[in-house]
Amino acid sequence: MAKIGINIATGSLQKNEMIVGIDLGTTNSLVAIIHPESKGPIVLKEHDGAALVPSIVHFGANNLVSVGDKAKEFLIEDPHNTIFSVKRLMGKSYKDLKDHSSYFTYKVIDDNTESLVKVQVGEKFYSPMELSSFILKELKERAEHILKTPVTRAVITVPAYFNDSQRQATRDAGKLAGLDVLRIINEPTAASLAYGLGLNKEEVKTVAIYDFGGGTFDISILRITGGIFEVLSTNGDTYLGGDDFDREIAKYCIKQWGLTETELTVNKSLVQELRLTAEEAKKTLSGAENYSGIVAESEVALSKAQFEALIRHLVNKTIHCCKLALSDAGLTTEDIDEVIMVGGSTRVPIVKESVGNFFRKKIFDSLNPDEVVALGAAVQADILAGNNKDLLLLDITPLSLGIETMGGLMDVLIPRNSKIPAKTGRQYTTQKDGQSSMRISVYQGERDLVKNNRKLAEFNLTGIPGMPAGLPKVEVSFLVNADGILVVTAKELRSGVMQSIEVKPQYGLTDVEVEKMLLDSISQAKEDMQMRALVEAQTEAYQLIQTTQNFISKNDNFLTKEELTKTFQAIDVLNVIVLYGSKDEIQKAIENLNEISRPYAERLMDDAVRVALKNRTI
Ligand code: AMP
C-alpha cells in the first residue's frame, strides 16, 4: 500500500518543481499553481495578462500546428483545418455525435462502426486524445515559460459525468504531452476545493455546482464528507451556453433590420461581426443597463431588460436541469448547503438571480468563474505534493493495474492514484468459436504494451461452455481492498463459471522502482501511443478478415463472381499490409475491404428484411 506522502517524497521531486492544475475546457483551458509565498492558488498569466488559452488547434501548411489564440484566428478563414471543442469528441463514437454533426466545421470521421471518432485533417487522422495532447503541450510550454522551470506533473480536471474511457483518454493526452498526470479530478470537486470546501476533515456538506460556460451547462450535486467528494448526481445540457445568448441577440438584430436568410448566407463576414458584437453587448449588459453599437452601419441597441427577456427561456432550462439533478439525488433545495458558480455565463446577473432564487442559498461567486476550476486543480495538486498535512495520508494505488488484451495491449482497470479501497469491472469476450478457456494476465504499470509492465499474476478461466466467438460475457473485476491487496475475479456471466486470485501489487517493489516505471512511461509515451494505435489497427484488420471470410463462406452463392474476386483480392492485400504496413496504411486497406463488402452486406440485409416481412401475418 502506498501513501501519497511517501510516494512523492522518494527524492524524485525537486523542491521547486511545481505540480500544476489544469482546467482542460471545451472552449478555453488554463493552468494554475499554488503561489510559493502566499500559498494561495493563482492562475498563470502571460505578460499581457492573458490566462485563457482557447482550446483550438490549427493545422497549417508544412505540418505547422498552432494552438490557442493563434489557432483561433483561423476559425473563419480555414474552418476545415481548425479544430475546436475537442472535449466534446472525447470517448465518443460517431453515432453519439450525429445529432450535432452540423456543429463541427471540420471532418469527423464516420467509419460505420461503434469505434471512436477521429478527425480528418488533409491526409491525416487524429484521435480526440491526440488533439487534446496538442492543447496540453501548449499549456505545459506556457507554464514552463512563465515559471522558468520544467513542468512535468499535473492534475487535470474533467466533467463529473466523464466515463472511464473519457478519463483514460484525458490521462493519455497528458502523457502524450509529456505530463505525468497525478490525478484526474472532477470539475465540480475542483470548484469546491477552490473555495476551500472539503479541506476541513470534520466538514460534512452537500454542495451544488452550477457550471454555465460558453457552450455547455452542467449542474452537479456533491456530498463532501471528511475530505471525500462523492458525486450524488449530475445533469445539464452539452449544447447550451453563453454562445446561445449571443445567438439570441444576433437573431433579435436580424429581425430588427429585416434581413433575409439569403442576405445572411452570402454575407458571412456580417454574420461573424454581428456574433462578436452580440457577445460584446451581452458582456456589457452584465454591468450596465444599456448597450449600443454599430454593425455594418446598422445600430445595435439593447437594454438589459430586453436582453433578459431574450434569454429567460434558456436560463429556465438550466433551472429545470437543477430540479432534475436534485430529484436524482433524492434531495430538495433545503438539503443544499452551498451553491458554487462556475463558468463565464454565470456573470450574467439574471443567471445569478435565478440560481439564488431557486436554491435560496448564499452563492459562492467571489472567485473569477473562468478560473475557479483551474484554481481548485492547483489546490488538489498541492495536496498531492504533500503540502497539506491533513489530507496527506489518503491511500492510493501508485501504479495502474490492468490485464492483457488482444495484441499484448495493457487494458487499465484501476488507474494509478486511485483512492483505495477501489473496485471496478469490465466485460470481455472470446475470440474463437467454441473457446472454452480464457487466460487472464494481470499487470501493473503505465506502459501501453504489457511486455513493458510488471506481471503480477496469471490464471485461466476454464469451463466456458462452447459458444460462437463474441458471445460469452466474461466479467473481470478488480478489487483493491483497504490493505492494498488486489483480488482479481473472472466470471462468465451466461454460465456462471468463476475463478479468482489474490495478489499484493506492492510486494517486492520499492519506491525507487515505482518512480522508474513512471518516468519510463513518460519518456516512452509517444512510441507507446504509436505502438498501441498500430496494434489496434492490426487487431481490427484480423477481425475484419475473419468476419468477411465467415460471411463469404456462408453466403458465397449470393455474391457475384466479380464481388468474390474483388473481396478475395482485398483480403489478400490486407493480409500483407497488416504484417508490414503502418497504422494509416492498414486503416486504408480496412476501409477498402469495407467499401467492397458494404454493398452486398446491405443487399443481403435488405433481403432478410423482405423475407421476414413476407412471412409475417397481420
Ligand atoms: P467559459 O466557457 O466558462 O470560459 O465561459 C465563456 C462564456 O462566458 C462565453 O459565452 C462568454 O461570452 C461568457 N462571458 C464571459 N464574460 C462575460 C460577462 N462579463 N458577461 C456575460 N457573459 C460573459
* pLDDT, mean of residues 24-33: 96
pLDDT for residue 618: 41
Are 292 and 300 in contact by the 8 Å Cβ rule? The answer is: yes
Rounded Cα gap, residues 588 and 501, in angstroms: 42
**Average of per-residue pLDDT across 132-156:** 95
Confidence of residue 16 (pLDDT cuts 50, 70, 90): low
Residue ranges around ligand 1 (CB below 6 Å): 25, 27-28, 213-214, 241-243, 279, 282-283, 286, 343-345, 347-348, 370
Q: Which of 130, 138, 172, 187 is catalytic?
A: 187
Residue 397 CA: distances (Å) to CA of 1, 97, 392, 601: 7, 35, 14, 47
Active-site pick, 87, 118, 282, 304: 87
Q: 592 CB contacts (<8 Å, ≥6 apart)?
A: 570, 573, 574
Q: What 3-state class would DSSP assign to 116? A: strand
72 exposed, middle or buried (CB, 10 Å; 0-12, 13-18, 19+)? middle
Q: Which atom of ligand 1 is nearest to the CA of 211?
A: 3
CATH 1.20.1270.10 applies to domain 527-613 = yes
Pocket test for ligand 1, best of 218, 240, 282 (most atoms within 8 A of CB): 282
CA distance 101 to 109: 11
pLDDT digits (tens, 9 = 90+) for 584-611: 999 999 999 999 988 888 887 777 666 6
pLDDT at 571 over 50: yes
The answer to which of 301-310, 426-435, 608-617 has the lowest mean pLDDT is 608-617
> What is the pLDDT averaged over residues 255-266?
84
Secondary structure class of 210 (helix, strand, coil): strand
β-bridge pairing 363-364 and 53-54: unpaired
Give the single-character DSSP code of 465: P
Please report the pLDDT score of residue 244 as a whole number: 96
At 243, is the pLDDT very low, low, confident or very high (cuts 50, 70, 90)?
very high
Tell me, yes or no, if the two domains 19-195+368-384 and 200-365 fold the same way: yes
The preferred substitution site among 210, 238, 345 for testing ligand 1, maximizing ligand atoms within 8 Å of CB, is 345
- d(C-alpha 192, C-alpha 201), whole Å: 14
Q: Taking a C-beta distance cutoff of 8 angstroms, is the pair 465, 487 a contact?
A: no
pLDDT-derived band at 310 (thresholds 50, 70, 90) equals very high
Task: Classify the C-alpha dihedral 95-96-97-98 as positive or negative.
Answer: positive
Does the active-site annotation cover 528? no
Strand partners, 339: 208, 363
Architecture of domain 19-195+368-384 in this structure: 2-Layer Sandwich (3.30)
Whether 159 and 342 have beta carbons less than 8 Å apart is answered as: no
Q: Residues 23, 172, 218, 246: which is the catalytic one?
A: 23
What lies within 8 Å, CB to CB, of 466 at 6+ separation is 434, 436
Q: What is the DSSP string of 390-438?
A: GGTT-EE-SS-EEEEEGGGEEEEEE-TT-BSSEEEEEEE--SSTT---E
Q: Residue 108 in 3-state DSSP?
A: strand
Q: What is the CATH architecture assignment of 200-365?
A: 2-Layer Sandwich (3.30)
Domain ranges of the chain: 19-195+368-384, 200-365, 401-510, 527-613
Of the residues 130, 211, 246, 492, which is catalytic?
A: 211
Output the CA 315–ligand 1 centroid distance in Å. Answer: 14
pLDDT tier, 331 (very low <50, low <70, confident <90, very high otherwise): very high
pLDDT of residue 612: 59
Q: Mind listing the pLDDT tens digit for each residue in 93-114?
A: 887 888 887 788 899 987 665 5
Mean pLDDT computed over 428-456? 89
Q: Does domain 401-510 have CATH number 2.60.34.10?
A: yes
Please name the amino acid found at residue 497: V
Task: Let me know if 187 is a catalytic residue.
Answer: yes
What element of type H or E holds 124?
strand 124-126
Buried b (16+ CB within 10 A) or exposed e, 92-124: bebeebeeeeeebebebbebeeeebbbbebeee
| Atom 20 of ligand 1, nearest CA residue | 283
Query: Is-catalytic flag, 87?
Result: yes
Q: Sheet containing 65-67: which strands, arranged edge to edge?
A: 65-67, 56-59, 82-84
CA 333–ligand 1 middle distance (angstroms) = 26
Q: What is the pLDDT of residue 262?
A: 82
Question: What angle is formed at CA 107 by the lines to CA 105 and CA 110, rounded to 5 degrees?
Answer: 135
Of 110 and 69, which is predicted with more confidence?
69
What number of other Cβ atoms are within 10 A of residue 20's Cβ? 26
Q: Report d(CA 146, CA 426) in Å as an integer.
A: 42
